[in-house]
Chains A and B, each alone.
Chain A
């Protein structure tokens, strides 16, 4: 039995090109843009372009919390659960408030696919706590009234 052959790397033991590999995170961001998460096809595409195996790409992507492996809603609400947000009546209080308003629990997506609710680690908004993020927009000094406004506006977006 030729064990050597069996364990041969799928790319023939080729050495990864460091210049290509350095583009990994940027490539993953692009790959994620279209569907909001990394589809199997997207991972394969990145692997092909960088001259690596899909396993290599998946291994790296899974290390970083901003790369997703599952579909999410159009708006991803990320409530900061950091220490300063907690001390300023935020964190769970904000998350619970949003959760009740949208009728979804943490990690869930509304049935219409519009909102996903998550908690996130410190957003570096401790001086303007409580804070949350919706996609690429940061919201600070949150109060129930401000959260109502944000959600209402996003519900009305076409």
Chain B
């Protein structure tokens, strides 16, 4: 097992890690000082060189996204996505609760680079401690002159405020988040226009996940080249992997992208409980397709997981041992997405309900072959045919469940 020096999680286990004094003692806000002496183009170039891809699930190259922000627009915004809700994922909560300044420093640098003077933190309503930590971090940063007018004498102004969501998974989708910030129902917008063209209040807006932003100070301090030297060909840098389910030591592990799934499960997370075999692995949060144990050597990167038939998503690994009832797992995941569907477009709204009724019959031992056929038909029909990625995310576990564990579904219909 290679022990990597943590970058993003270097602070989280220190006493009073959330306090600004602790953050400053270990080199905090040095990257901001450096960035403010660079030109905005230089900052963006550094982020592009790092080749960092967004950590919220979609994996879009951050530097490219920053480059999309129009230079000549008088009013621009930054929106920080702390609406972590994808089942299996618990990394953003950790950073927000234990090291909020690392994200905030990234926020200030990103705002400077794109020319935004107003940034909005959107945080899940359920994260009570996270809300408190964000507010405290922001007010302390104002006191020290890292926020407000003329930050560190640079002439750059920035105000940041915190906005609580109210229990809607869909608001993690960037355009739904903007709707929610505007005080509306969290229904995703049609794209294009993308937020970089028309975002919050119709103004160009950069939306970025908080893990992505927490990487920015390190990229500025150590350079984009350093960052891109870590990882695989198309997946650069360090990543927080959340691992849970049937493992001995669940938790967050920060490792380079490209670390094999096997190493994370058996060396970092202490292996499968009771020494059992693995039946299935979800590699990137519950909307990513299942993998079977034979794919265990797959490196955890965007392109490598795609080649293995799944996706990196949020980097949330859920391990299921040989005793797991896969029909129940698929039912439970589908129930989540049905509960969270915003109901705006019908494939997701009605398709989800249809799939869930079939899955409930099957899981309850009252299903028939027709239910399996219906499931497949509806899931295929939904795939890629919804306004936002949620419909596809809902179809993925059903389709991959049927592809890999069809026999289990059929067993449930044995007497019907």
The answer to whether A155 has its CB under 8 Å from any CB of chain B is: no
Shortest C-beta distance, A142 to chain B (Å), equals 14
Q: Which chain B residues lie closer than 8 Å to A87 at the CB level?
A: 244-246, 318, 320, 324
A18-B182, A64-B125, A122-B336 known; A83+B88 contact, CB < 8 A: yes
Q: Which chain A residues lie closer than 8 Å to B201 at the CB level?
A: 18
A126-B88, A127-B251 known; A21+B244 contact, CB < 8 A: no
Q: 1/0 contact trace for B234-260 toward A, CB 8 Å? A: 000000001111100011100000000
Are A124 and B89 closer than 8 Å at their CB atoms?
A: yes
Interchain CB contact (< 8 A) of B182 among A22, A59, A127, A138: A22
CA A52 to CA B42, docked complex, whole Å: 45
CA A138 to CA B127, docked complex, whole Å: 9
Shortest C-beta distance, A30 to chain B (Å), equals 11
Are B165 and A21 closer than 8 Å at their CB atoms?
A: no
The answer to whether B74 has its CB under 8 Å from any CB of chain A is: no
Are B163 and A25 closer than 8 Å at their CB atoms?
A: yes
CA A86 to CA B126, docked complex, whole Å: 20
Are B87 and A22 closer than 8 Å at their CB atoms?
A: no
CA A26 to CA B124, docked complex, whole Å: 13
Shortest C-beta distance, B183 to chain A (Å), equals 3
Interchain CB contact (< 8 A) of A60 among B185, B251, B318: B185
CA A83 to CA B88, docked complex, whole Å: 7
The answer to whether B209 has its CB under 8 Å from any CB of chain A is: no
CA A21 to CA B180, docked complex, whole Å: 10
Instruction: Kindly count the residue-residue contacts between A and B in the assembled complex, taking CB atoms under 8 Å apart.
Output: 129
The answer to whether B146 has its CB under 8 Å from any CB of chain A is: no
Question: Contact residue range for chain A?
Answer: 35 or more
Interchain CB contact (< 8 A) of A63 among B186, B242, B333: B186
Q: Which chain B residues lie closer than 8 Å to A2 at the CB level?
A: none
Chain A, Cβ-Cβ closest to B183:
A24
CA A65 to CA B180, docked complex, whole Å: 13
CA A82 to CA B339, docked complex, whole Å: 12
CA A38 to CA B215, docked complex, whole Å: 40
Shortest C-beta distance, B159 to chain A (Å), equals 14
Among the 9-residue stretches A3-11, A100-108, A109-117, A128-136, the one with 4 or more Cβ atoms under 8 Å from chain B is A128-136
A24-B183, A83-B88 known; A126+B163 contact, CB < 8 A: no
CA A138 to CA B332, docked complex, whole Å: 22
CA A114 to CA B85, docked complex, whole Å: 29
Shortest C-beta distance, A18 to chain B (Å), equals 6
Q: 1/0 contact trace for B54-91 toward A, CB 8 Å? A: 00000000000000000000000000000011111110
CA A122 to CA B320, docked complex, whole Å: 17
The answer to whether B270 has its CB under 8 Å from any CB of chain A is: no
Chain B, Cβ-Cβ closest to A135:
B128
Q: Which chain A residues lie closer than 8 Å to B6 at the CB level?
A: none
Q: Which chain A residues lie closer than 8 Å to B167 at the CB level?
A: 64-67
Are B88 and A63 closer than 8 Å at their CB atoms?
A: no
Q: Which chain A residues lie closer than 8 Å to B286 at the CB level?
A: 83
Are B186 and A124 closer than 8 Å at their CB atoms?
A: no
Q: Which chain A residues lie closer than 8 Å to B128 at the CB level?
A: 136-138
Among all A-B residue pairs, the 6 with the closest Cβ atoms? A24-B183, A64-B166, A65-B167, A126-B244, A66-B167, A63-B185
Chain B residues packing against A (C-beta within 8 Å): 84-90, 92-93, 124-129, 163-169, 180-186, 201, 242-246, 250-252, 282, 286, 316, 318, 320, 324, 328-329, 332-333, 335-336, 339-340, 342
Chain A residues packing against B (C-beta within 8 Å): 18, 21-26, 28-29, 50, 59-60, 63-67, 81-84, 86-88, 91, 120-129, 133, 136-138
Write 5 A-B pairs (CB below 8 A) sorted by A numbering: A22-B182, A25-B165, A126-B250, A127-B242, A136-B128
